[in-house]
Chains A and B, each alone.
Chain A
């Protein structure tokens, strides 16, 4: 399969595949069953440089071009078998580290970035609430200014990495009467007084990526820890979502490619009615559709890299990529299960887990319905 990489992208991709095969290929079935977060894998990924790759060199990062970071993520997705860990790494990068890079003050960056990049600190993002998911800016979490601090009260839902997080990028309104223009971004120490991981959430897929509800109860956040201007949390959040929607599914590209290769090999080897099942059109057509989806997904993701590197807005293109990759990933995973028949339904074949992992993609970072809304708005509708 021609992956159409630049030389640099190919080098990073291949290195990531090799790294992931060596260091991120544990017993994923047991980890999924037990909902185990791979702390050691996180550290090894940090040592490989994953958490520093998109951060500018002047801030201590590796300063890779976004296309190279995406190539790394695709390589990790291809070589690793723990998609939950990759999801956690992505959430940390795109909704915690990158907002800090883009909106943080020099002091905030000096304080947090070294640990976020070397793997000693884990980042999370708290935006959704029990009663505001897709309508995220209808949030109820309040930030009340008291001199040099804000006092935060409220509950955040579906917070990826929360049970292991050291730093939360979160959002609260300074005044509900201001509507979305009251929403403000904050950096909250995950171990601060009043921050409670109230309950860990069990999930259908991505079970090795810990997720929880977080309660803020009279959490005192210094004004110096506000992220961005007061009332401009929408800008911080939307920029983080543009990163996440555009890049979080790069790992899925690699996972889809590995899955397709496995299905093709199976269709060639598995014989029924005296011939390889791939000779039956109904099977071959599935594989053709899987290949077509993969080939139409990759350009959408790498287009985000080109736009971001050129400093252009990628709101619509990120939504297009998120929508198409996430839905294609689910369809390919379903086809893979079907193609393997009864074996595909068995846990030990790891295809049912891939399907469960894939479904989340149509929900996190904005549901498919929200992505379509964003795209429609971009069309002037």
Chain B
């Protein structure tokens, strides 16, 4: 079980998908391109990631390429943390 991915999932469900089953939010579910996150909620997610995992997300890292799926975001966090 990936702790980072689970923490992201819990945050996303609590903040943006209340009442949704965790099983429906998979690691590869598209968050932005799938319409789950809009501009403001994306910003909230980025801010959460920065504060919770003590990393700084640069602008070029916050595009949909790196920041659209839980798996990709978790990978970015691990990479930034040097794991």
Contact = CB atoms under 8 A, between A and B. Distances in A.
B21 interface: no
Interface stretch (A195-203, A209-217, A230-238, A333-341): A230-238
A380 B46 CA distance: 19
Contacts of A179: 32, 39, 42, 63-64
Given A178-B63, A179-B63, A184-B59, A234 B40 contact: yes
A46 interface: no
A1 interface: no
Interface in A159-194: 174-175, 177-184
Interface residues of B, number: 18
A235 B59 contact: no
A181 B40 contact: no
B34 interface: no
B83 interface: no
A181 B18 contact: no
A182 B59 CA distance: 6
A238 B18 CA distance: 23
Contacts of A174: 59
Contacts of A238: 40, 43
B24 to A, nearest CB: 16
B75 interface: no
A235 B64 CA distance: 18
Nearest to A381: B18
Nearest to A138: B39
Contacts of B58: 230-231
Chain A interface helix/strand/loop/mixed: helix
A178 B43 contact: no
Interface string B9-46: 00000000011000000000000100000111011001
B63 A182 contact: yes
Interface size, A (range): 20 to 34
Contacts of B67: 181
A158 interface: no
Contacts of B64: 177-179
B63 A235 contact: no
Interface in A121-144: 137
B52 interface: no
Contacts of B43: 180-181, 232, 234-235, 238
Contacts of A183: 39
Contact of B18 (A175, A230, A232, A380): A380
A238 B58 CA distance: 19
Nearest to A229: B59
Contacts of B18: 380
B60 A180 contact: no
Contact of B63 (A137, A181, A380): A181
A175 B42 CA distance: 16
Interface string A352-381: 000000000000000000000000010010
B62 interface: yes
Interface string B58-83: 11101111010000000000000000
B6 to A, nearest CB: 22
Contact of B39 (A137, A175, A177): A137
B45 to A, nearest CB: 10
Given A179-B32, A181-B46, A181-B67, A231 B39 contact: no
Given A180-B38, A184-B59, A234-B42, 15 more contacts: A174-B59, A175-B63, A177-B63, A177-B65, A178-B59, A180-B43, A181-B63, A182-B63, A231-B58, A234-B39, A235-B43, A235-B47, A238-B43, A377-B38, A380-B19
24 contacts: A175-B60, A178-B60, A178-B64, A179-B32, A179-B42, A179-B63, A180-B38, A180-B39, A180-B42, A181-B42, A181-B43, A181-B59, A181-B63, A181-B67, A182-B59, A184-B59, A230-B59, A231-B58, A231-B59, A234-B39, A234-B42, A377-B38, A377-B40, A380-B18
Interface of A: 137, 174-175, 177-184, 229-232, 234-235, 238, 377, 380
Interface of B: 18-19, 32, 38-40, 42-43, 46-47, 58-60, 62-65, 67
